[in-house]
């Protein structure tokens, strides 16, 4: 030990004889540096330098005090006082020396002397050697960690006082407000089966009972629910409903009370009641107490993080689906376009129904067709032609026949052919005949037109050997065109009659191969 450290330890030892609580070693080292001019640590007016030097000296003194039994020039009570006041551990040899000197010694787990007394019981100091609670010259020293601990201790005493007020039915204003809020909530959650939001219930209750902040009230209510077995004025079922609805853990004592009352209880790993039922099974509640799934008045809360994530996922899926639809409707330029191939000019016959599902394919002979004789057609207004069709009662919507007609073969055929409806001559003549009189005057003279009567009956030749002839209705179309010649210089000109045979029939249905 150097001369400087020896002088500092002697300076401190002479001044702590009357202390009975752990002292702050850095403060004593700083005091020694200020009052001992012979100290080799240079005096500095800068407070930071002084404190740094004081901490360095205190650290060296602490290492020396760990072997306090080796100090020379100190009595046994002085060595004991140094080790006790500065909370230093001592060796077993030093403890045995003290016991041999009739001292009563008690140590903690770190081998620090927590209590000692002399043989005559005149000196009896004791301490728990709390690191955050130190003194300097008998006064409590407030350093970094101490105020927080004192504040927590003061808050714990305040909570204990509140609990005593509740037990004595003389609650303070804060405790009374929390009790009113819990009563308000308990009277309204009896029918709910899923966990509710405590924040929203407290916010609703604060409008009627207390002007306190939401966070403060919620903490008070949660603290009361954490000791639900101590809450008075509530039935066992009401207490159980409160801790279940607000997902609060319960103690083993409260669970034992419930089981003694014939309740069936199941708990999760956090000691929350996940399922319970009454003895007769009338009331059954169960929940996994998900942190983000909460209800309010029985309705799922939509502003919870869980529902927000679900909504975000659904919106993302909808946007993705819309994007796919847009890409499908408007393909990009990189997409290969399918070129349309030209279709040859093929005569497409109108579709006809096939009556027989199975048709045997049989060979057919070629039928020679004669060329259709040319007919002189005089152009007339389209409106008149349409009117003629309407007058004759012909179905205009029916398609025209574009095939070739063998008139000689049709003339030789007699009788009724299968597949064609029979039309009586009287009906045919009635439909075909029409009298149309038109007279034009030129210079006061009449032009007389003769009636034109045309009757044309046509039918397609039915080739023998065809497998089947589809149903078709022969349509008789008679085209009537009137050509009138106007008179010149008052003379009458007789118009010529033009009979045009217009025969049409439905096309022969081609046999369907299967």
Longest dimension (CA), the chain: 175
Average pLDDT over residues 146-171: 53
Distance, CA of 61 to CA of 369 (rounded, Å): 136
CA angle 473, 475, 479 (to 5 degrees): 175
Read off the pLDDT of residues 49-77 as tens digits, 9 standing for 90 and up: 566 677 777 888 888 888 888 888 888 88
Digit-coded pLDDT (tens) for 372-387 = 444 444 444 544 444 4
- For the CA atoms of 389, 393, 398, 404, the dihedral, rounded to the nearest 10 degrees, stands at -70
d(CA 145, CA 152): 11
**First and final C-alpha spacing in the chain:** 120
Judged against a pLDDT cut of 80, whether residue 322 lies above it is answered with: no
Q: How far apart, in whole angstroms, are the C-alpha atoms of residue 61 and residue 10?
A: 11
Pick the closest to residue 131 from 86, 93, 192, 68 (CA basis). 86
pLDDT tens-digit map of 459-509: 444 444 444 444 444 444 544 444 444 444 444 434 344 444 434 444 444
Q: What pLDDT was estimated at residue 399?
A: 56
Nearest to 63 by CA among 33, 39, 88, 36: 88
pLDDT on residue 153: 58
Return d(Cα 491, Cα 486) in angstroms, integer: 9
Distance from C-alpha of 92 to C-alpha of 100, rounded to nearest angstrom: 12
How many Å apart are CA 181 and CA 109, to the nearest integer? 46
Dist CA 113 CA 117 (whole Å)? 11
């Amino acid at each position: 030990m150097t001369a400087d450290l020896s002088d500092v330890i002697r300076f401190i030892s002479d001044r702590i004889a009357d202390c009975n609580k752990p002292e702050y070693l850095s403060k004593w080292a700083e005091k020694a540096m200020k009052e001992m001019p012979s100290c080799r640590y240079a005096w500095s007016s800068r407070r930071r330098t002084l404190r740094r030097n004081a901490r360095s000296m205190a650290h060296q003194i602490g290492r020396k005090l760990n072997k306090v039994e080796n100090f020379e020039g100190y009595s046994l009570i002085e060595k004991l006082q140094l080790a006790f006041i500065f909370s230093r551990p001592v060796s077993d040899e030093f403890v045995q020396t003290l016991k041999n000197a009739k001292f009563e010694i008690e140590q903690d787990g770190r081998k620090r002397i927590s209590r000692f007394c002399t043989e005559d019981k005149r000196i009896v100091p004791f301490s728990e050697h709390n690191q955050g609670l130190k003194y300097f010259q008998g006064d409590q020293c407030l350093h970094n960690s101490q105020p927080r601990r004192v504040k927590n201790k003061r808050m714990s005493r305040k909570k204990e006082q509140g609990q005593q007020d509740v037990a004595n039915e003389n609650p303070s204003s804060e405790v009374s407000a929390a009790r009113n809020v819990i009563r308000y909530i308990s009277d309204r959650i009896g029918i709910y089966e899923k966990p509710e939001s405590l924040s929203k219930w407290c916010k609703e209750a604060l409008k009627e009972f207390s002007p306190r902040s939401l966070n403060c009230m919620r903490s008070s209510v949660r603290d009361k629910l954490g000791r639900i077995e101590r809450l008075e004025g509530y039935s066992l079922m009401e207490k159980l409903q409160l801790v279940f609805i607000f997902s609060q853990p319960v103690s083993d004592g409260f669970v034992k009370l419930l089981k003694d009352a014939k309740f069936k209880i199941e708990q999760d790993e956090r000691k929350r009641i996940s399922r319970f039922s009454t003895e007769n099974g009338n009331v059954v509640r169960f929940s996994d107490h998900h942190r983000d799934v909460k209800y309010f008045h029985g309705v799922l809360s939509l502003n919870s993080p869980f529902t927000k994530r679900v909504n975000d996922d659904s919106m993302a899926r909808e946007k993705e689906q819309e994007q796919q639809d847009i890409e499908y409707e408007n393909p990009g330029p990189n997409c290969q376009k399918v070129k349309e191939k030209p279709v040859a000019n093929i005569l497409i016959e109108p579709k006809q129904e096939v009556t027989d599902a199975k048709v045997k394919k049989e060979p057919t002979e070629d039928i020679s067709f004669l060329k259709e004789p040319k007919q002189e057609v005089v152009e007339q207004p389209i409106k008149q032609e349409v009117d003629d069709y309407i007058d004759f009662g012909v179905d205009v919507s029916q398609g025209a026949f574009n095939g070739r007609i063998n008139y000689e073969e049709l003339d030789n055929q007699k009788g009724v052919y299968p597949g064609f409806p029979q039309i009586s001559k009287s009906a045919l003549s009635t439909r075909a005949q029409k009298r149309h009189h038109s007279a034009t005057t030129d210079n006061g003279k009449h032009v007389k037109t003769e009636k034109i009567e045309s009757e044309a009956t046509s039918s397609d030749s039915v080739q023998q050997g065809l497998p089947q002839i589809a149903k078709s209705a022969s349509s008789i179309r008679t085209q009537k065109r009137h050509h009138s010649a106007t008179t010149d210089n008052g003379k009458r000109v007789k118009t010529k009659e033009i009979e045009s045979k217009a025969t049409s029939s439905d096309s022969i249905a081609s046999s369907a191969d299967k």
